[in-house]
Amino acid sequence: MSEVGEQVRDGRLVGGRYRLLERIGSGGMGTVWRAFDELVDREVAVKQPRLPGDPEGEEFQRASHRLYREARAAARVDHPSAVSIHDVVIEDELPWIVMELVRGESLHGLLGRGPVAPAEAARIGRAVLGALCAAHSVGIVHRDVKPANVLLGPHDRVVLTDFGIAHIQGEESLTASGEFVGSLEFIAPERMSGTGAGAGPASDLWSLGVLLYAAVEGASPFRRTTVESTLGAILAGDPPEPTSAGPLGPLILRMLAREPEARPGAEEVGAILDAVAEGKDVPGAPVSTGPRDAVPDAVPDAVPEEMPEVPEGEPEGASAEASGAEAVVAEPETAPAPDLAPAPEPDLEPTPAPDLDPAPALEPAPEPISTPKSGRRRPRWARPLLLAFGALLLAGLVFGTVVDNLLDTADTEASRPWIAHPERELSAVLYLPSPYKRVAEQTDSGARVVTYAMTATGILRIRLTERTGTTASPLTEAHALTRGTSNPQYTRTSFRGNKDAVLADTVQDGSGVPTRVMALIIRTADGRTYELRVDMPKGTPDEKKGTALFKGARDRLALTEK
C-alpha cells in the first residue's frame, strides 16, 4: 500500500478526466487523492472507495450506497463553509467522489500547537454553525462534527467536510443492526442510546460545543485513555467548566447539556458567537441552572500530557482529515440500533467488536467518573444503556478491542508554528516551522539559492532556488535533478495559477544512508524558474518528518511579482 504523501508516476486517469497525483489521506473506508481535472485545468480532491467484504455481499453493497449518500448529502448543502462536491464518477463499478481541494490545515492540526483565543474559536464556530444550519435546512444531520473535519483555508475560510455518516431524514438507515461508528468524544449522548431519541440537529450543536471547548482549552472535556471511560464520561458526568473560554464559557456549558431540549437553539448560538468574534457584549445573560457535576481533578484514567505522535503529517484537502477517534461498537441487541452509518476516515480502522448476546441487567462496574451531586436525574434513555454497559464491562466484551489512536495527535513538524521568511531577492515568501532558520545563501550564474535548517549541521534541509534566463521546462529541470538516481518519479501539476509545474521524487544512492529528494519545480509566466527541495535520509524517522516539511512548505510557498 502506498503511503500518504506519495506521488504517483503517470497517475491513473479516473472518469476520463481526473489524473491522480498524490495520496493525501487514507482510512478504513477510502483513500483521498489530490488530482488534476484535465478538462477544466484545476486541482481537486478525489475520494477512492475501499469497501469491505464480498462485492456481492450485503456489507459491500451497504458501504457502496453510503458513499453515494455522502455525495448526495454534501451536494445538497449550499454554504461557503460546506465542502463543494463537483462530481461522482463510476470507476471499477464503485462511486468515486470528486470535491474541491481545500489547501491548508485542519482545526485539529492547529490545536496541536495549542488552544486558540475565544474570539478566534467563535469565528471558526460561527462558520461551522452556518454550514450545519444549511445542512439542517435540507434535512441533513452531519453527525461527525470534530476538529479533524474542519479545514482552515486561505483568506480565513473555514470549511466543514465529510458528510460520510450524515443522516438524511426520511431515508432508510444503511447501518447494520448493532453497528455504531463515529468519533466518540465528539458524539452527543443521545446518539449512543438504543432508541436514538433526539438525535437530530441538536446533536450537531452538542458536537459543536465540544469542538468549541477543545478550541479554547486544547482538548475535549471527555477525552480519556480508553473507549470505555470516554463513553462513561459522556453519559454519566458533566464537563469541568472551561478556564480559558472567556465569554464563550456559559454558552459552551449550555451546549453540552445532556438533554437535547436543554441546549440553546442555533439562532441563539449564532448570535453569541457573532458577538464574541467581534468583541461585542454577549446578548442576554445565561441563566444558571444550579451547580454542575464536575469531573474530579484526580481521575485515574486522565489523559497523559504527552501523547504518541501520528507517523504522517496532516493530510490536506477536502475529506482528508487528521486522525480522530472512531469507535466501532457492538450494541446490545435488546435495543434498536440508532440510524447511523460508518464514515471514511484517514485513520486506521479499528477492529469491529464481536457480536454479543443480550446483556443481563447487572449493576454497573465501578468506573472512576463523577457521580451526580446536585440531584439532577439522568435522562431515561441513559439508564438502561448504563446497565447494559456495566454488564459488558464485567464480561470484558465492551468493544472487543481498545481503539489505537483514540486521541487526536499531531505530527511533529505539523505541530510547530509556521513562520514566514520573506526572501525579497527571490521574490518569494517561504513558510517553515519555527525552529528553521537560514543557514546558507548563494548567488551564481543567474541562480539564487537559500538553504534553511534547524541548525547549520541539521539533517533535514530545505532549499529554495530561483533561476532566470533559462528556457528549460520544469520537466527538463526535473530530469536534470534526478539524473543518476534510483526510480525517479515525476508528476505534472499546477501552482497558484502557473500550469507549468512538476513534482519530482527520487532517491540518491550515495555512501551510507540513501537520501530521498522531494522537489517542486515551477516556471512562472514571466520566465522565472523556482525549485523547492527537501533532502531527507531514506528509511528513517526523519524521512517522515521531511515529507511533512516538504508538503507544508510547498502548500504555503508564496511567489511575488518582480
% the chain with pLDDT above 70: 68
> CA 506 to CA 518: how far, in whole Å?
7
Instruction: Please give the average per-residue pLDDT across 161-187, as a whole number.
Output: 58
- Cβ neighbours around 270 below 10 Å, total: 16
User: 510 pLDDT band (50/70/90 cuts)?
Assistant: low
Specify the higher pLDDT residue, 39 or 341: 39
In the chain, the largest separation of any two C-alpha atoms, in whole Å, equals 81
**What mean pLDDT is reported for the chain?**
74
Q: Where are the domains of the chain?
A: 13-100, 105-287+309-395, 418-559
| pLDDT above 70 (res 500) | yes
Instruction: Please give the average per-residue pLDDT across 484-506, as a whole number.
Output: 82
Specify the higher pLDDT residue, 518 or 286: 518
| pLDDT above 80 (res 217) | yes
DSSP labels, 1-21: -PPTT-B-TTPPEETTTEEEE
Question: How many angstroms separate the Cα of 183 from the Cα of each of 55, 180, 481?
Answer: 27, 10, 44
Using DSSP, state whether 501 is helix, strand or coil.
strand
| pLDDT above 60 (res 394) | no
Please state the CATH superfamily assignment of the domain spanning residues 418-559 in this structure: Mog1/PsbP, alpha/beta/alpha sandwich (3.40.1000.10)
What's the pLDDT tens digit per position in 364-391?
Answer: 433 333 333 333 444 554 555 554 444 4
What's the pLDDT tens digit per position in 342-359?
Answer: 334 333 333 343 333 343
Contact 274, 121 (CB under 8 A): no
Question: What architecture is the 105-287+309-395 domain classified under in CATH?
Answer: Orthogonal Bundle (1.10)
Identify the pLDDT of residue 8. Answer: 52
Half-sphere exposure of 73 (CA within 13 A, CB side): 29
Contacts of 535 (CB under 8 A, 6+ apart): 460, 461, 515, 516, 517, 546
What's the pLDDT tens digit per position in 512-522?
Answer: 678 899 999 99
- The secondary element (H helix, E strand) that includes residue 499 is strand 498-508
User: 299 pLDDT band (50/70/90 cuts)?
Assistant: very low
Dihedral sign for Cα atoms in the order 180, 181, 185, 191 = negative
| pLDDT above 90 (res 302) | no
Of residues 8, 12, 18, 14, the one with CA closest to residue 41: 18
Burial readout 90-112 (b: 16 or more C-beta within 10 A, e: otherwise)? ebeebbbbbbbbbbbbbbbbbbb
Of residues 524, 504, 505, the one with CA closest to residue 516: 505
Which listed residue (87, 144, 162, 347) is catalytic? 144
If 0-12 CB within 10 Å is exposed, 13-18 middle and 19+ buried, where does residue 525 land? exposed
Neighbour order of strands in the sheet with 558-559: 418-423, 428-433, 558-559
Give CA angle at 162 (159, 166), nearest 5°. Answer: 120
At residue 155, what are phi and psi to the nearest 5 degrees? 60, 35
Neighbour order of strands in the sheet with 498-508: 437-444, 447-453, 461-467, 529-537, 515-523, 498-508, 486-495
Domain 13-100 has CATH 3.30.200.20: yes
> CA 469 to CA 527: how far, in whole Å?
7
User: 28 pLDDT band (50/70/90 cuts)?
Assistant: low
> CA 537 to CA 508: how far, in whole Å?
10
- The secondary element (H helix, E strand) that includes residue 273 is helix 266-277
DSSP labels, 28-84: TTEEEEEEEETTTTEEEEEEEE---S-TTSHHHHHHHHHHHHHHHHHHH---TTBPP
What distance lies between CA 320 and its chain's CA centroid? 6
Give the residues across from 152 on adjacent strands: 105, 158
Question: How many angstroms separate the Cα of 116 from the Cα of each of 81, 175, 217, 255?
Answer: 19, 36, 8, 19
Identify the pLDDT of residue 379. Answer: 52
Identify the pLDDT of residue 291. Answer: 38
Give the residues across from 141 on adjacent strands: 167
Identify the pLDDT of residue 215. Answer: 97
- The secondary element (H helix, E strand) that includes residue 293 is none
Strands, DSSP E only, in 263-332? 327-330
At residue 331, what are phi and psi to the nearest 5 degrees? -85, 155
Identify the pLDDT of residue 320. Answer: 38
Instruction: Please give the average per-residue pLDDT across 186-207, as a whole number.
Output: 79
| pLDDT above 90 (res 13) | yes
Give the residues across from 438 on adjacent strands: 452
> CA 531 to CA 509: how far, in whole Å?
21
How would you classify the pairing of strands 167-168 and 140-141? antiparallel
User: 164 pLDDT band (50/70/90 cuts)?
Assistant: low
What's the pLDDT tens digit per position in 251-275?
Answer: 999 999 989 999 999 999 999 999 9
What distance lies between CA 216 and its chain's CA centroid? 18
Specify the higher pLDDT residue, 168 or 312: 168
User: 58 pLDDT band (50/70/90 cuts)?
Assistant: confident
Contacts of 32 (CB under 8 A, 6+ apart): 23, 24, 25, 26, 45, 46, 47, 48, 315, 317, 318, 319, 320, 346
% the chain with pLDDT above 90: 31
* Whether residue 411 lies in the annotated active site: no
| pLDDT above 90 (res 46) | yes
Identify the pLDDT of residue 246. Answer: 94
| pLDDT above 50 (res 407) | no
